[in-house]
Structure 1
Protein backbone atom coordinates (compact mmCIF):
# COMPACT_ATOMS: atom_id res chain seq x y z
CA UNK A 1 0.00 0.00 0.00
CA UNK A 2 1.11 3.51 -0.72
CA UNK A 3 0.06 6.75 0.81
CA UNK A 4 -1.75 9.35 -1.23
CA UNK A 5 0.90 11.65 -2.78
CA UNK A 6 -0.53 14.74 -1.12
CA UNK A 7 -0.54 13.13 2.32
CA UNK A 8 2.96 11.74 1.78
CA UNK A 9 4.26 15.18 0.74
CA UNK A 10 2.70 16.73 3.83
CA UNK A 11 4.33 14.08 6.07
CA UNK A 12 7.72 14.67 4.46
CA UNK A 13 7.34 18.43 4.89
CA UNK A 14 6.43 18.06 8.58
CA UNK A 15 9.34 15.69 9.21
CA UNK A 16 11.79 18.03 7.48
CA UNK A 17 10.38 20.83 9.61
CA UNK A 18 10.89 18.66 12.70
CA UNK A 19 14.48 17.92 11.67
CA UNK A 20 15.15 21.65 11.25
CA UNK A 21 13.74 22.31 14.72
CA UNK A 22 16.00 19.63 16.21
CA UNK A 23 19.03 21.25 14.56
CA UNK A 24 18.02 24.58 16.13
CA UNK A 25 17.56 22.94 19.54
CA UNK A 26 13.81 23.51 19.49
CA UNK A 27 12.89 19.97 20.48
CA UNK A 28 9.35 20.71 21.65
CA UNK A 29 8.49 22.16 18.24
CA UNK A 30 10.17 19.17 16.58
CA UNK A 31 8.05 16.77 18.62
CA UNK A 32 4.94 18.71 17.60
CA UNK A 33 5.85 18.47 13.90
CA UNK A 34 6.63 14.75 14.10
CA UNK A 35 3.41 14.08 16.03
CA UNK A 36 1.30 15.92 13.45
CA UNK A 37 3.06 13.91 10.72
CA UNK A 38 2.34 10.65 12.54
CA UNK A 39 -1.31 11.63 12.92
CA UNK A 40 -1.55 11.76 9.11
CA UNK A 41 -0.49 8.11 8.78
CA UNK A 42 -3.52 5.80 8.46
CA UNK A 43 -4.25 3.06 10.99
CA UNK A 44 -2.75 0.64 11.73
CA UNK A 45 0.32 2.86 11.87
CA UNK A 46 2.77 -0.05 12.14
CA UNK A 47 1.86 -1.13 8.58
CA UNK A 48 3.45 1.94 7.02
CA UNK A 49 7.13 2.55 6.27
CA UNK A 50 6.62 6.25 6.96
CA UNK A 51 5.77 5.35 10.55
CA UNK A 52 9.17 3.68 10.91
CA UNK A 53 11.02 6.93 10.34
CA UNK A 54 8.53 9.14 12.18
CA UNK A 55 8.67 6.96 15.31
CA UNK A 56 12.47 6.89 14.98
CA UNK A 57 12.63 10.68 14.75
CA UNK A 58 10.33 11.02 17.76
CA UNK A 59 12.36 8.50 19.74
CA UNK A 60 15.63 10.19 18.90
CA UNK A 61 14.26 13.60 19.84
CA UNK A 62 13.01 12.31 23.19
CA UNK A 63 16.39 10.61 23.71
CA UNK A 64 18.19 13.91 23.09
CA UNK A 65 15.78 15.49 25.56
CA UNK A 66 16.70 12.78 28.14
CA UNK A 67 13.09 11.58 28.26
CA UNK A 68 14.12 7.95 28.02
CA UNK A 69 10.74 6.31 28.71
CA UNK A 70 9.17 8.24 25.84
CA UNK A 71 12.20 7.47 23.67
CA UNK A 72 11.91 3.77 24.50
CA UNK A 73 8.19 3.73 23.67
CA UNK A 74 8.75 5.35 20.27
CA UNK A 75 11.66 3.06 19.41
CA UNK A 76 9.58 0.00 20.29
CA UNK A 77 6.91 1.34 17.93
CA UNK A 78 9.52 1.89 15.22
CA UNK A 79 10.84 -1.64 15.76
CA UNK A 80 7.38 -2.99 14.93
CA UNK A 81 7.09 -1.06 11.68
CA UNK A 82 8.42 -2.14 8.27
CA UNK A 83 12.21 -2.51 8.34
CA UNK A 84 12.43 -1.55 11.99
CA UNK A 85 13.73 -4.85 13.33
CA UNK A 86 16.71 -4.71 10.95
CA UNK A 87 17.55 -1.04 11.50
CA UNK A 88 20.77 -0.75 13.55
CA UNK A 89 20.09 2.85 14.60
CA UNK A 90 16.69 1.93 16.05
CA UNK A 91 18.26 -0.99 17.92
CA UNK A 92 21.10 1.21 19.18
CA UNK A 93 18.87 3.99 20.47
CA UNK A 94 16.37 1.50 21.90
CA UNK A 95 19.23 -0.20 23.74
CA UNK A 96 20.54 3.13 25.03
CA UNK A 97 17.05 4.17 26.15
CA UNK A 98 16.54 0.85 27.94
CA UNK A 99 19.93 1.28 29.61
CA UNK A 100 18.93 4.72 30.86
CA UNK A 101 15.64 3.24 32.16
CA UNK A 102 17.60 0.62 34.13
CA UNK A 103 16.48 -2.29 31.93
CA UNK A 104 19.99 -3.64 31.48
CA UNK A 105 19.22 -7.12 30.11
CA UNK A 106 16.96 -5.73 27.38
CA UNK A 107 19.52 -2.99 26.75
CA UNK A 108 22.26 -5.57 26.21
CA UNK A 109 20.08 -7.55 23.82
CA UNK A 110 19.32 -4.55 21.60
CA UNK A 111 22.82 -3.07 21.74
CA UNK A 112 24.21 -6.46 20.75
CA UNK A 113 21.78 -6.63 17.82
CA UNK A 114 22.88 -3.17 16.68
CA UNK A 115 26.51 -4.26 16.92
CA UNK A 116 25.77 -7.46 14.96
CA UNK A 117 24.26 -5.46 12.11
CA UNK A 118 26.65 -2.52 11.99
CA UNK A 119 29.77 -3.40 13.96
CA UNK A 120 31.63 -1.12 16.33
CA UNK A 121 31.27 1.91 14.04
CA UNK A 122 27.69 2.44 15.21
CA UNK A 123 29.08 3.22 18.66
CA UNK A 124 31.68 5.78 17.46
CA UNK A 125 29.70 8.88 18.42
CA UNK A 126 28.01 7.38 21.46
CA UNK A 127 28.93 7.44 25.13
CA UNK A 128 31.38 4.59 25.85
CA UNK A 129 29.12 3.24 28.60
CA UNK A 130 26.79 1.75 25.99
CA UNK A 131 29.51 -0.28 24.28
CA UNK A 132 30.87 -1.35 27.66
CA UNK A 133 27.54 -3.11 28.30
CA UNK A 134 28.22 -5.57 25.48
CA UNK A 135 32.03 -5.63 25.35
CA UNK A 136 32.31 -8.96 27.19
CA UNK A 137 29.63 -10.54 25.01
CA UNK A 138 31.45 -9.98 21.73
Structure 2
Protein backbone atom coordinates (compact mmCIF):
# COMPACT_ATOMS: atom_id res chain seq x y z
CA UNK A 1 0.00 0.00 0.00
CA UNK A 2 1.13 3.49 -0.74
CA UNK A 3 -0.08 6.80 0.55
CA UNK A 4 -1.87 9.07 -1.87
CA UNK A 5 0.41 11.66 -3.46
CA UNK A 6 -1.47 14.42 -1.67
CA UNK A 7 -1.02 12.89 1.79
CA UNK A 8 2.59 11.94 1.04
CA UNK A 9 3.47 15.51 0.04
CA UNK A 10 1.77 16.94 3.15
CA UNK A 11 3.70 14.52 5.39
CA UNK A 12 6.99 15.37 3.68
CA UNK A 13 6.39 19.11 4.06
CA UNK A 14 5.56 18.78 7.75
CA UNK A 15 8.66 16.64 8.35
CA UNK A 16 10.87 19.04 6.38
CA UNK A 17 9.54 21.90 8.49
CA UNK A 18 10.21 19.80 11.59
CA UNK A 19 13.80 19.31 10.42
CA UNK A 20 14.19 23.05 9.92
CA UNK A 21 12.82 23.75 13.39
CA UNK A 22 15.25 21.23 14.88
CA UNK A 23 18.10 23.02 13.12
CA UNK A 24 16.86 26.22 14.76
CA UNK A 25 16.78 24.41 18.14
CA UNK A 26 13.00 24.81 18.37
CA UNK A 27 12.47 21.29 19.60
CA UNK A 28 8.90 21.59 20.88
CA UNK A 29 7.70 23.13 17.62
CA UNK A 30 9.53 20.44 15.64
CA UNK A 31 7.86 17.70 17.66
CA UNK A 32 4.50 19.28 16.89
CA UNK A 33 5.24 19.13 13.15
CA UNK A 34 6.28 15.47 13.30
CA UNK A 35 3.19 14.58 15.33
CA UNK A 36 1.03 16.42 12.81
CA UNK A 37 2.67 14.40 10.04
CA UNK A 38 2.02 11.20 11.97
CA UNK A 39 -1.66 12.13 12.33
CA UNK A 40 -1.93 12.17 8.53
CA UNK A 41 -0.78 8.55 8.32
CA UNK A 42 -3.84 6.28 8.14
CA UNK A 43 -4.54 3.72 10.85
CA UNK A 44 -3.11 1.36 11.66
CA UNK A 45 0.05 3.48 11.68
CA UNK A 46 2.22 0.37 11.82
CA UNK A 47 1.22 -0.53 8.24
CA UNK A 48 2.89 2.49 6.68
CA UNK A 49 6.55 3.13 5.87
CA UNK A 50 6.12 6.82 6.66
CA UNK A 51 5.42 5.87 10.26
CA UNK A 52 8.76 4.06 10.45
CA UNK A 53 10.77 7.20 9.85
CA UNK A 54 8.48 9.58 11.73
CA UNK A 55 8.56 7.39 14.85
CA UNK A 56 12.34 7.04 14.49
CA UNK A 57 12.80 10.79 14.22
CA UNK A 58 10.65 11.39 17.30
CA UNK A 59 12.63 8.76 19.17
CA UNK A 60 15.87 10.46 18.18
CA UNK A 61 14.64 13.79 19.51
CA UNK A 62 13.70 12.34 22.87
CA UNK A 63 16.93 10.32 23.05
CA UNK A 64 19.00 13.45 22.47
CA UNK A 65 16.97 15.18 25.19
CA UNK A 66 17.64 12.26 27.54
CA UNK A 67 13.95 11.42 27.86
CA UNK A 68 14.73 7.75 27.46
CA UNK A 69 11.36 6.21 28.29
CA UNK A 70 9.58 8.37 25.73
CA UNK A 71 12.33 7.70 23.18
CA UNK A 72 12.04 3.96 23.79
CA UNK A 73 8.30 4.08 23.15
CA UNK A 74 8.79 5.78 19.77
CA UNK A 75 11.58 3.39 18.77
CA UNK A 76 9.45 0.37 19.66
CA UNK A 77 6.66 1.84 17.51
CA UNK A 78 9.15 2.24 14.64
CA UNK A 79 10.31 -1.34 15.16
CA UNK A 80 6.76 -2.55 14.49
CA UNK A 81 6.45 -0.61 11.23
CA UNK A 82 7.58 -1.75 7.76
CA UNK A 83 11.27 -2.72 7.73
CA UNK A 84 11.64 -1.64 11.35
CA UNK A 85 12.74 -5.02 12.63
CA UNK A 86 15.63 -5.10 10.16
CA UNK A 87 16.66 -1.45 10.54
CA UNK A 88 20.02 -1.35 12.33
CA UNK A 89 19.58 2.25 13.44
CA UNK A 90 16.28 1.48 15.16
CA UNK A 91 17.82 -1.59 16.81
CA UNK A 92 20.80 0.48 17.96
CA UNK A 93 18.59 3.22 19.37
CA UNK A 94 16.39 0.75 21.24
CA UNK A 95 19.54 -0.80 22.67
CA UNK A 96 20.80 2.60 23.76
CA UNK A 97 17.53 3.62 25.40
CA UNK A 98 17.29 0.28 27.19
CA UNK A 99 20.88 0.73 28.37
CA UNK A 100 20.04 4.18 29.72
CA UNK A 101 16.98 2.84 31.53
CA UNK A 102 19.14 0.13 33.12
CA UNK A 103 17.57 -2.78 31.24
CA UNK A 104 21.02 -4.07 30.39
CA UNK A 105 20.11 -7.60 29.33
CA UNK A 106 17.53 -6.40 26.77
CA UNK A 107 19.88 -3.60 25.75
CA UNK A 108 22.61 -6.05 24.81
CA UNK A 109 20.13 -8.05 22.74
CA UNK A 110 19.25 -5.06 20.57
CA UNK A 111 22.80 -3.74 20.40
CA UNK A 112 23.97 -7.17 19.29
CA UNK A 113 21.28 -7.28 16.59
CA UNK A 114 22.43 -3.89 15.30
CA UNK A 115 26.01 -5.13 15.31
CA UNK A 116 25.05 -8.29 13.41
CA UNK A 117 23.42 -6.20 10.67
CA UNK A 118 25.98 -3.40 10.35
CA UNK A 119 29.13 -4.46 12.17
CA UNK A 120 31.12 -2.23 14.46
CA UNK A 121 30.71 0.74 12.11
CA UNK A 122 27.22 1.41 13.46
CA UNK A 123 28.83 2.28 16.80
CA UNK A 124 31.28 4.70 15.17
CA UNK A 125 29.85 7.92 16.54
CA UNK A 126 28.16 6.47 19.60
CA UNK A 127 29.40 6.47 23.18
CA UNK A 128 31.78 3.52 23.51
CA UNK A 129 29.86 2.21 26.53
CA UNK A 130 27.26 0.74 24.17
CA UNK A 131 29.73 -1.28 22.13
CA UNK A 132 31.64 -2.22 25.26
CA UNK A 133 28.47 -3.72 26.70
CA UNK A 134 28.39 -6.35 23.91
CA UNK A 135 32.10 -6.75 23.20
CA UNK A 136 32.35 -9.94 25.27
CA UNK A 137 29.44 -11.47 23.30
CA UNK A 138 31.05 -11.04 19.89
The TM-score by the shorter chain falls in which range? over 0.9
Other-structure match for 1:52: 52
Cα pair 1:92 1:114 within 8 Å, conserved: yes
Alignment TM-score, normalising by the size of structure 1: 0.97
In structure 1, distance between residues paired with 2:22 and 2:96: 19
In structure 2, distance between residues paired with 1:73 and 1:45: 14
Runs of 4+ in 1 over 4 A off after TM superposition: none
Alpha-carbon deviation of 1:17? 1.2
Other-structure match for 1:67: 67
Cα pair 1:27 1:65 within 8 Å, conserved: no
Other-structure match for 1:120: 120
* 2:40 is aligned with 1:40: yes
SS at structure 2 position matched to 1:84: coil
Alpha-carbon RMSD across the aligned residues, in angstroms, is 0.8
Write out aligned runs for 1:68-87 (5 A). 68-87=68-87
Alignment TM-score, normalising by the size of structure 2: 0.97
Provide the aligned length of Structure 1 versus Structure 2: 138
Alpha-carbon deviation of 1:44? 0.3
Q: List gaps (5 residues or longer) in structure 2.
A: none
- Output one character per residue of 1:64-122: Cα deviation in whole Å (capped at 9) or x when no partner: 11110010000000000000001000011111011111111111000000011011111
